[in-house]
Amino acid sequence: MGHVKIISYANTVEVYEYDRDILVLKGRDKPCKRTGENKPEYDDMGTSGKDSLQERKLGKRSDNARRAQLAFRRIVASNLEPNTLPILITLTYRDNFTDLGLAYKDFSAFTRTLRNKYGKTFKYICVPEFQKRGAVHFHALFWGLPKEMVPQERKTRTLAGLWSKGFVYLKETDGNERLSHYLSKYMAKAFIDPRLMNQKSYVASKNILRPVIQSGSFPVEEVLYLFGVSETTPEVDHSFLTSWLGNGRYRVFKTND
């Protein structure tokens, strides 16, 4: 039985299946713990590799950005529900502030101020973006803040005062899954930006919901049933080839909720 990875969030279940199981390897020249065979000489991309080092690094970075973007979209989708619609908040600096590390500290201070004023039950996820002038600004989804905040902000400038660094833009949302795609664009853009070096590509509150992930070697259909998938016809079903685990299959199901 090959390796299986199941990712469940909201009413979606994603399934990755592979021909081979994951082997535990110890060092390039040491034998595999399970097979006793030596580890083959693969490059960073998992192929037999004639590409240049720069090409391999660029390819790996692009692949990491794609994976991070998918993970981010799943987190946003995990928190989208019809009963609690998020507010989209954009925070900008009046000055040309370019230090992302310090900007994250400003954002943390802003959320602490919000909790002092509105309580600790709200949650958020936030991504940075660099403007053309080089300044940092933030795009964030907040759940659990007062709904009347949006129409009142133009008159009261309450959040702008709490932010105190520049300008605040608020927008009501319909909670559609398109929001995860919208924010993930900024996240992926920031991920490959060299100014994000050694910095987080997004931040989220501790109470944000995250996908449930189960991986290993197990009967897929039995686990799908536990996740609420009773119909066998997936919405997405396609095959692909991997360097390490052989043939792969990717399926997407919607639960009965």
Tens digits of per-residue pLDDT, 85-132?
A: 999 999 999 999 999 999 999 999 999 999 999 998 999 999 998 888
Give pLDDT, residue 43.
29
| pLDDT tens-digit readout, 148-176 | 999 999 899 999 999 999 999 999 988 88
Give pLDDT, residue 228.
81
Give pLDDT, residue 19.
94
Give pLDDT, residue 47.
34
Give pLDDT, residue 24.
64
Residue 188 DSSP code: H
Give pLDDT, residue 222.
84
Whether the pLDDT of residue 59 is over 70: the answer is no
Whether the pLDDT of residue 177 is over 70: the answer is yes
Give pLDDT, residue 49.
37
Q: Which amino acid is at 93?
A: Y
Q: Name every residue whose Cβ is closer than 8 Å to that of residue 141 and which is 6 or more positions away in sequence.
A: 76, 79, 86, 87, 88, 89, 124, 125, 126, 173, 179, 183
- Give mean pLDDT, residues 71-93: 91
More confident residue, 68 or 139: 139
| pLDDT tens-digit readout, 12-46 | 999 999 999 987 665 555 544 444 443 333 223 23
Confidence label for 187 from pLDDT (cuts 50, 70 and 90): confident
| pLDDT tens-digit readout, 201-235 | 889 999 999 999 999 998 888 888 888 887 678 99
What are the chain's domains?
4-51+209-254 (no CATH), 87-204 (3.30.70)
Measure the CA–CA gap between 99 and 193, rounded to whole angstroms: 13
Whether the pLDDT of residue 138 is over 90: the answer is yes
Cα angle vertex 147, ends 141, 148, to 5°?
130
Contact present, 92 and 133 (Cβ < 8 Å): no
Give pLDDT, residue 179.
80
The pairing of beta strand 4-9 with beta strand 12-18: antiparallel
Cα angle vertex 80, ends 122, 116, to 5°?
5
